Amino acid sequence: MKNKKEYKERPWLEFYDEQGIPGNIEYPDCSMVDMVMQSAEKWPDNVAYVYYGHKVTYKNFVKKIEKAARALKNYGVKEGDRVTICMPNTPEGITMVYAVNMVGAICNMVHPLSSEKELEYYIKVAESKYVLVFDAIFDKIYRLRDSAGLERIIVVRPSDGLGFLKQKMYRLLHVKKVKLPINDSRVVLWEDFIANSYFYQGNYHEERSANDPSVILYSGGTTGAPKGILLTNLNFNALGIQATTVIKQAVPGATILSILPIFHGFGLGVCIHTPLCKGMGCILIPAFSYKQFADMIRKNEPNFIAGVPTLYESLVNSKLKSGDLKSVTAVICGGDALNQTLRDKVNKCLETYGSSAKIRVGYGLTEATGAVCLSPENSFKNGIIGAPFPDIYCKIIRTGTHDQADVGEEGEICISGPLVMVGYLNDDAETAQALRLHDDGKVWLHTGDLGILGEDGFIYFAQRLKRMIISSGYNIYPTHLESIINSHEGVLTSTVIGIDHPHKGQVPKAFIVLKSGYKAGKKVEREIRELLERNVPVYALPVAYEFRDKLPQTLVGKVAFKKLEEEEKSKE
């Protein structure tokens, strides 16, 4: 029986009561892989994942995980070691996540398009000696073998996760191969790595508790510089249980289009681990093409679609046919704010092409395992992000204080509960900024986002406190780009803003003021671009560079980046 204090702290519990959703749940004291194995025991013949039509059941998925776990032990991976996974959404990528978890090690999840300097930072900060990498970017990792002290590089080819016949066909048709070094024992192909699992016959399934660390993901923290976010088994398992409790369509055997990548909190947490906790099937999409979206849906007939607003822009502009969306029972949008116009277009698209689902808006951040709130079905108020998941506390505080804001008053969104990270890797100062103990005795995650608690007991998103560009769901921090641009010897100052893009939402544009004696032109632009290419991922690179004699300023002397944004808007 909930008491009055609980309803005051979590006014959305009244809505949960109406829906038959529990406000509190008990979570097992186990690892991420243990949850998947429980699914395999309950639903052994359900499909765990589909990859280009090749289906693998839970029973066989667990066998693959166990082989990979034995292989890891054979190559010397120990409990507590960090294994870097630098992969798109492929069977080897998700198999390795759970194999690493099974041996008691920690997954260090890295974006394959990261710059070489970033990759070196991610590997070094995590103290990772083992890397799983897609062959297309093997060269970048191999160049880091000595500086990062790598002991083993496991290389995956695109065809590895396909069925036998499709694998043979792929290798016949795609003759271009990435050349691997001969006689370097540090490099091993995935198929040889797995074959060598035979040589290890000892224990490979370490018992781990809910609070043991399991995954490192990367985000910009409060400054925009890359930060490792340390998450636990409980973080992911709680998300899986909470989300499938709240979303009634999440039933064993249902399928989800797993487009968002495994190195992304939303991707790994919501699109992979959550369905695998419930006997659902993941349709693995390693590379998304908006031009092929309609064909992808027709071939796979997913029940769930989860993605960022730009994905839904692609959906409404796809060449769909009557009945193409009849399989779709749930549609979730996260990663960025969903505007009313797009929301209405998506709902109309769903109805037109055969689905009775309506788009629901989720809210989360990597520091809280990717998702903490979800809007109710059929509730379309502007800005609504809905009710926090069971066991999640959410409050709005007056910015710069710990004082709770009044109902309807805008303030910073703070989160407490089993989804909140352990902290930033090797960064106590940044952790102290994000995780703060309040007078109520709870540790609260300060999100850097502004919101409102509505009269209806739901949370509404207002705006972000920190400057951020969101491009196809990826966070890009202008201050981080500016610091790199400003390190060029000829740059006096710079400002980066987001400009609208038809498919990505926004992309960065740089405004630069050069020092006296330096002349704007192709040469200096090329030098700045090359400087950025060495330090940031491809998706974060500015699409345009504009040189000016001066930049507009606010009354207190700061760059008026909002004025630059207005100027760009007026050009459209």
Identify whether residues 446 and 509 lie together within a single domain: no
**What is the spatial distance between Cα 470 and Cα 506, in angstroms, rounded to a whole number?**
6
Identify whether residues 153 and 45 lie together within a single domain: yes
Quote the pLDDT of residue 353. 97
Identify whether residues 159 and 211 lie together within a single domain: yes
Quote the pLDDT of residue 558. 64
Identify whether residues 40 and 184 lie together within a single domain: yes
Identify whether residues 552 and 532 lie together within a single domain: yes
**CATH classification at residue 200:** 3.40.50.980
**CATH classification at residue 533:** 3.30.300.30
Residue 383 lies in a domain: yes
The DSSP bridge partners found for residue 49 are 56, 282
Quote the pLDDT of residue 41. 98
Quote the pLDDT of residue 162. 64
* b/e per residue 98-132 (b: at least 16 CB within 10 A): bbbbbbbbbbbbbbbbbbbebbbbbbebbebbbbb
Residue 24 lies in a domain: no
Residue 353 lies in a domain: no
Give how many domains the chain has, as a whole number. Answer: 3
Identify whether residues 50 and 72 lie together within a single domain: yes
- The two structure tokens encoding residue 155: 């290389």
**CATH classification at residue 412:** 2.30.38.10
Do the beta carbons of residue 445 and residue 476 sit within 8 Å? no
Identify whether residues 522 and 399 lie together within a single domain: no
Of 180, 201, 234, the position where a domain reaches its end is: 234
Identify whether residues 490 and 454 lie together within a single domain: no
Domain that holds residue 516: 469-571
Residue 373 lies in a domain: yes
Residue 498 lies in a domain: yes
Identify whether residues 409 and 495 lie together within a single domain: no
Of 464, 498, 519, the position where a domain reaches its end is: 464
Going by DSSP bridges, is the β-strand pair 359-363/330-333 parallel, antiparallel, or unpaired?
A: parallel
Residue 554 lies in a domain: yes
What angle separates helix 32-42 from helix 91-102, to the nearest 10 degrees? 110
**What is the spatial distance between Cα 540 and Cα 119, in angstroms, rounded to a whole number?**
15
Quote the pLDDT of residue 8. 87
Q: CA–CA distance from 547 to each of 21, 35, 535, 542, 566 (Å)?
A: 56, 54, 21, 13, 17
Quote the pLDDT of residue 105. 98
484: closest CA among 506, 512, 519?
512
Q: Name 26's Cβ contacts closer than 8 Å, sequence gap at least 6.
A: none
Residue 179 lies in a domain: yes
Residue 453 lies in a domain: yes
Of 218, 234, 250, the position where a domain reaches its end is: 234
Each residue's pLDDT expressed in tens, for the chain with a length of 572 residues = 457 888 888 999 999 999 999 999 999 999 999 999 999 999 999 999 999 999 999 999 999 999 999 999 999 999 999 999 999 999 999 999 999 999 999 999 999 988 899 999 999 999 999 999 999 899 999 999 999 999 999 999 877 766 554 444 444 444 446 678 878 999 999 999 999 999 999 999 999 999 999 999 998 655 667 899 999 999 999 999 999 999 999 999 999 999 999 999 999 999 999 999 999 999 999 988 878 899 999 999 999 999 988 888 889 889 999 999 999 999 999 887 788 888 999 999 999 999 999 999 999 999 999 999 999 998 888 889 999 999 999 999 998 889 999 999 999 999 999 999 999 999 999 999 999 999 999 999 999 889 999 999 999 998 777 778 888 878 888 888 988 998 999 998 888 989 988 878 889 999 998 988 888 989 999 999 999 998 888 889 999 999 998 888 765 556 778 888 888 888 76
DSSP 57: E
**What is the spatial distance between Cα 232 and Cα 212, in angstroms, rounded to a whole number?**
6
Quote the pLDDT of residue 163. 58
Identify whether residues 395 and 541 lie together within a single domain: no
Identify whether residues 101 and 201 lie together within a single domain: yes
Identify whether residues 456 and 495 lie together within a single domain: no
